[in-house]
Amino acid sequence: MSLDWIASPGRPLRGEVTVPGDKSISHRAIMLAAIADGSSRITGFLEGEDTRATARIFAQLGVRIEAPNPSERIVHGVGMHGLRASDAPLDCGNAGTGMRLLTGLLAGQGFASVLVGDASLSKRPMARVIEPLTRMQAKIAAEAGGLPPLRIHASNDMQGIDFEQPVASAQVKSAVLLAGLYAQGETRVHEPHPTRDYTERMLRAFGWPIDFSPGQARLSGGHRLQATDVSVPADFSSAAFFLVAASVIPGSELLIRRVGMNPRRTGLLAALRLMGADITKEYPGEQGGEAVADLRVRHASLRGITVPEQLVPDMIDEFPALFVAAALAEGRTVVTGAAELRVKESDRIATMARGLAALGAKIEETPDGAIIEGGRLQGGQADSHGDHRIAMSLAIAAQRAAGPVRIGDCDNVATSFPGFVELARSCGFALETAASR
């Protein structure tokens, strides 16, 4: 039985919130710690379904992982060649990041693996990783159309490549770099636009020689990783829902604590500020080698903008929330260059267009974005299509609707944001859960 949410017009948001650990960093921390020499302690680990699936997979591959406390893992690394075959398929759940990065990491092992996922992940394109990995001599079979399950055969003769990436994707870049650890010679990746660089930064933290700058990365195979402790900052993408919610609900003022501020993640901050948002950065610092800050957000009257295309990769997961801000702003917002949204957990252009239209918004889909006329929202029914970010975005929209909104199929929020309902309520959201009808 799945869960619906009933979200109602809310009161001003007030107080302080701390959102869970970064999903991208948590996946990578488990992966690198698993193939390092020695034991690594991960703190701030995201207890989400996606990252727990990745941890479970490494346990299946013979890595001992302890969980002494919530959000903490001790990973007893088995070294570069210590992973062992699993008889059972490796279930990545809902996680594109898990599946794509694991495909790269497992491509150069001396044993075969099968990667599977849930209904949503089973529809997501994997050819984008299979193609470069095949050029590196990996042997990977997919279903028709390059879809999961992926059957990865043993390969002991991976070769480095010089890869010109057609789409800006940190997952594809990371898959190629992780395969490059096991390849002979040099692996180079060039991106059409810089994307999040967590794999590169974490490889360096684990002692692997790597050269990288925005838009390019280069490493050679044949080294080893040394265990290190990883302190995971709070996920900007989870903070994003509170940034938008407090911006659009009159009378709100929220403080969001110690949020990861890697510039490849904070495009939404720039977009919201262009719209007139009142968000200030306080106490900038560092956590686990990443920039962090407290973010203070106060309600402001937002106006529509044309979202600069160069911001798109830096806010790729934040468009569902941005669409809500746009639907409540004065004037027109235009999004272009964001066709990647169509191959996420759902087609996020279509699901947001449908969801917001059901609440009376004027929103027109385009092949690579949307045109949204700001205005008023009404109550009604909207479906998240099992997509965590759509569910949370619609819950924000409902805080400004004229009546309650029933949001269908919200279980998957636990993939990235366990505890969202409780945290949202604690600062003023009107949000109830109910069994699906």
Ligand X SMILES: C=C(OP(=O)(O)O)C(=O)O
Ligand Y SMILES: O=C(O)C1=C[C@@H](OP(=O)(O)O)[C@@H](O)[C@H](O)C1
User: Where in the sequence numbering do the catalytic residues fall?
Assistant: 317
Q: Name which position in 4, 5, 7, 24 contacts ligand Y (CB under 6 A).
A: 24
Residue 194 C-alpha from the chain's centroid: 16
- The reply on whether position 232 binds ligand Y by CB under 6 A is no
In 162-252, DSSP assigns E strands to: 162-164, 186-190, 210-213, 216-220, 230-231
Point out which span in 53-61, 168-176, 185-193, 288-296 binds ligand Y (CB under 6 A).
168-176
User: Applying CB under 6 A, does 351 fall inside the site for ligand X?
Assistant: no
From 109, 174, 231, 252, residue interacting with ligand Y (rule: CB under 6 A):
174
For residue 300, give the amino acid letter.
Answer: A
Taking CB atoms, the residue at the shortest distance from ligand X is: 96
267 φψ region: left (φ > 0), alpha (ψ -120 to 50), beta (else): alpha
Q: Which of 10, 21, 96, 288 binds ligand X (CB under 6 A)?
A: 96
Contacts of 20 (CB under 8 A, 6+ apart): 46, 47, 48, 71, 234, 235, 238, 417, 418, 419
Of 433, 316, 344, 328, the C-alpha closest to 376 is 328
**Contact partner at residue 345 from ligand Y, ligand X, none, CB < 5 to 8 Å by partner kind:** ligand X
**Any known ligand binding at 226?**
no
**317 is an interface residue for ligand X by CB under 6 A:** yes
**Nearer Cβ to ligand Y, position 176 or 246?**
176
**Dihedrals phi, psi of 285, to nearest 5 degrees:** -155, -155
Interaction of residue 345 with ligand X, rule CB under 6 A: yes
409 is in an annotated binding site: no
2 is in an annotated binding site: no
Calculate the alpha carbon distances from 319 to 67, 204, 336, 395, 424 in Å: 34, 31, 11, 15, 19
H or E stretch covering 197: none
Which of residues 316, 327, 394, 413 is near ligand Y by CB under 6 A?
A: 316
Stretch 184-213: interaction string toward ligand Y, x if CB under 6 A: ------------x-----------------
Site for ligand Y in 80-119 (CB under 6 A): 97
Rounded to whole angstroms, the Cα distance separating 375 from 329 reads 7
> What are the DSSP calls for 26-65, one per residue?
HHHHHHHHHTSEEEEEEES---SHHHHHHHHHHHHTT-EE
Annotated binding-site residue? 96: yes
What are the binding residues for phosphoenolpyruvate? 23, 96, 124, 171, 348, 389
Residues that bind ligand Y (CB under 6 A): 24, 97, 169-171, 174, 196, 316-317, 340
Residues that bind ligand X (CB under 6 A): 50, 95-97, 317, 344-345, 389, 416
